[in-house]
Each structure stands twice: as structure tokens, then as C-alpha cells.
Chains A and B, each alone.
Chain A
Amino acid sequence: MELSESRLDEIWEIFEQKTEDAMMEWIEIQPDKDLIHEYFNALIPRNQPNPPKQ
């Protein structure tokens, strides 16, 4: 499941307008908050999987 382009527009508009704390509060009451968290969490790369043990 992905956020739609119009939803991304809305999220980005909120990001530009709100303070960090207000933005976090806003995310927590959104019905698709898990998707929004995934979206922002994508900014920092995940740890690469460990190489297989010999």
C-alpha cells in the first residue's frame, strides 16, 4: 500500500506549515499514520542485512 500523490501533497503542505511537534501530533491522529511513518522513515537507509555466516 502506498500513499497517493494527492495525499503526499497534503502531507508535504502540513510539513511546510507546522512545527515538528504539531506535525507529529497531526500524524498520530491520521488513519493512515503507519504509511506516513513508513514514508518519512525511508529518508534514512535501513541497515543492510548481515552477510551470511561462513
Chain B
Amino acid sequence: MIPHIDKNGEACIIVAISTEGRKKAAEIMGTVSLGNKAIKGVAKMREANKDKPPLQEKSPLQKFMEQTPKLINSPDFTRKIESVNDRKVEVSIRQGDIAIYVDDSYEKVKMSKKEGTEVAIRAMRMVQSEVAKMPDGTLLTNTPTVTDGLGKKRIKLYERAGFGPPDQRRMRSVVKNGKMTPISGEQYRYLMENRHHTRFDNWTS
């Protein structure tokens, strides 16, 4: 690796193994120093950058933003209905918020534990298949009920499914490659502050 100052006076590094490679690099970059002149180049770089603050490592939030597609809204409303042992299981996503209904009720109707598991597994598969159709960056949310003594278990289940930790009870997820990936409240606010979104109505802050 050879440090250089290019024709615009910008610091750069050229990786070149052979003399031929160095020549080629010089043609492309328009470098003014090469080979043994590298030391001179370093001195120039130092001089050029003496008044600039030192390069800082990116914060975890910056890195998260770089790895996250720009946020977009989910479709206004999608609904999927299937049948599990004669139970009607419905998954609705309204303005990004996921809700699951069994026999048209938000709360659990009378059913055995085994039946409850079958319904839950089907409901999660239905959510996965809806999410698979959504573009990268789609923001999804849910606000799990915590008043029935099952809140901790429910939150864990949602976290495994790809939601971030609760933030004032709201859990958030961003679609990446057709799958849900977690986003915390802090990460969400950072993306919003930095306008890391497109076509985005703030339905779900």
C-alpha cells in the first residue's frame, strides 16, 4: 500500500504489487508521487490535513444507519385470513401495525394449549409470508398486551420474530430481504433525525 496525494490534492492509498501495476495506478489516479516519493507524499498529506480534526470511528448508530435501508411505510392495509381447525385466523397489518385475530376476536377464545400453539404457529407463518412481499425498509410495529400476565413471554416471542425491544411498549422491525429485522427506539429516532427514509408518513413513531 502506497500513500499518495492525487492530482486534486486529496490523500489516497494505492495498492500495487508490480511496477506495471503502479504505473497503471498512476495513470488512473493522476498521482503526482509514486514509489520512493511516497514519503514526500505522506509529508504533503500531513501538511494538507494539519488543521482538520482526526478521523473518528463511526458510532454504532451511524453503522446501523449505513446497514439499514431507508425507511418506508408499509401498505396502508393488508389482511390475510386462513383457517386452522375451523378457527378463523386473521393477520392484519394496518399502517405498519400488526394485529392477530382469532374468530374475529383480538383476545383468545376458548381453546386447548395444543390448539393455541397451532394457531400461533400459523399466525406467525402468515406474518412471515406477508412480510416477504414487502420492500426493503418497510417499518412494522406492534404494541404487545402486557396486562394478562403473559407480557414477558409475548415480548420474547416478538423479539425472536424480528422485533426490537419495547420502547414505551412499542416494538419495531424493519424489512430486509423479505425478513423482519429488529430496530430499537433509539435506532428508529436516529434514522428519523437523519431523514433516513423515503415516502414516509410518520404513522408509527
Contacts and interface: CB of A to CB of B under 8 A. Distances in A.
A40 B116 contact: yes
A27 to B, nearest CB: 7
Interface of B: 100, 102, 106-109, 113-114, 116-125, 145, 147-150, 153-154, 156-157, 160
Contacts of B153: 2, 38-39, 42
Best-surrounded residue of B102, B108, B119, B122 (most CB of chain A within 10 A): B108
Interface of chain A, main secondary structure:
helix
Given A20-B118, A34-B113, A37-B113, A43 B123 contact: yes
A30 to B, nearest CB: 12
Nearest to A46: B148
B108 A45 contact: yes
Nearest to A36: B117
Q: Sort A-B residue pairs by CB-CB distance and give the 6 closest, nearest first.
A: A42-B153, A41-B116, A43-B120, A37-B113, A40-B120, A42-B150
15 contacts: A20-B121, A20-B122, A34-B113, A37-B113, A37-B117, A38-B153, A41-B116, A42-B153, A43-B157, A45-B148, A46-B107, A46-B150, A47-B107, A47-B108, A47-B109
Given A24-B114, A40-B116, A42-B153, A8 B160 contact: yes
B106 A40 contact: no
B123 to A, nearest CB: 6
